[in-house]
Amino acid sequence: MTEEIGKSEPTEDKFLSPENKPHIVIGPEGEEIQVDPLNDYFCTEPPKVHEPRNKIVEKFLNWARAESLWVLGFGTGCGSIEIPPLLSPRYDAYRFGVMMRPTPRQSSVLIISGYLAVKTLKRVIRSYEQMQNPKFVMALGSCTINGGMYWDSYNTINRLDYYLPVDVYVAGCMPRPEAILAGFDKLKQRIKQGRAEGANEYVEKFDWYKANQKKVIKDWNMPDYNW
């Protein structure tokens, strides 16, 4: 048998998670099924910009979106302690149309509640990309703006808007529930004005965001398209 010259074996991605590698699963009737998770479970095409509809329809849709904000219950930092009081009878965020949801597929708002570790950033990216458009990001505290007290830390990020588009920042360390309600009010204003276009910005600058993400996440072991 002659060996083909110049033909090299395909290199294996050492960071690829075992569950994302091609493997065989057993079907309900005992049959073997070949599964390639990256091609079978995830989208292989880049995201697309969602163009607004005509002015009157889009204005109505933006009003409806602003008055029904479904927040992904994902606490990323110390600001998470401010979220439960927000839903208590004293502040009652439900009366403003703000509701917590358990999964990204049900949510329209992602709150980054304070400092964000590089390890957590990977999970945040996947959660954000799995949320349906239109989607919005609210960032709490100085840590999301300039790193705060962790500005020179090796394992936390300094500026959230290098990795995800941010629609509203709420300053403070940490902001009180009243400030977070004010942040929701500002987000509602931006949505109604048609200015909360972070999801489309993420699509338009997708390569830039993805390059920044991979600079800090050294063990990138998930697909680029988590739709």
Kindly indicate the confidence band of residue 189, based on its pLDDT and cuts at 50, 70 and 90: very high
pLDDT digits (tens, 9 = 90+) for 63-90: 999 999 999 877 777 877 888 888 888 8
Confidence check: pLDDT of 96 > 50: yes
- Could you identify the residue written with the tokens 């099924």? 33
Q: What is the mean pLDDT of residues 85-96?
A: 85
Confidence check: pLDDT of 3 > 50: no
Q: Where are the alpha helices (DSSP H) in the chain?
A: 37-40, 55-66, 83-86, 118-130, 143-146, 177-192, 198-204, 206-216
Predicted pLDDT at 12: 60
Kindly indicate the confidence band of residue 227, based on its pLDDT and cuts at 50, 70 and 90: low
Neighbouring C-beta atoms of residue 78, cutoff 10 Å: 16
Q: What whole-number distance in Å separates Cα of residue 69 and Cα of residue 183?
A: 12
pTM of the model: 0.82
Tokens representing 70 are 């479904």
Tokens representing 176 are 């009180």
pLDDT digits (tens, 9 = 90+) for 197-218: 888 999 999 999 999 998 888 8
Nearest to residue 36, comparing CAs of 210, 227, 223? Answer: 223
pLDDT digits (tens, 9 = 90+) for 136-186: 999 988 888 887 787 888 888 888 889 999 999 998 888 888 888 999 999
Q: What is the mean pLDDT of residues 4-13?
A: 52
Q: Write the burial class of residue 192 (CB in 10 Å: 0-12 exposed, 13-18 middle, 19+ buried).
A: middle
pLDDT digits (tens, 9 = 90+) for 101-146: 888 888 999 998 888 888 888 888 988 988 888 999 999 888 888 8
Please check whether residue 34 is in contact with residue 64, taking contact to mean a CB–CB distance below 8 angstroms.
no
DSSP string for residues in 125-191: HHHHHHSPSS-EEEEESTHHHH-GGGTT-SSB-S-GGGTS--SEEE-SSSPPHHHHHHHHHHHHHHH
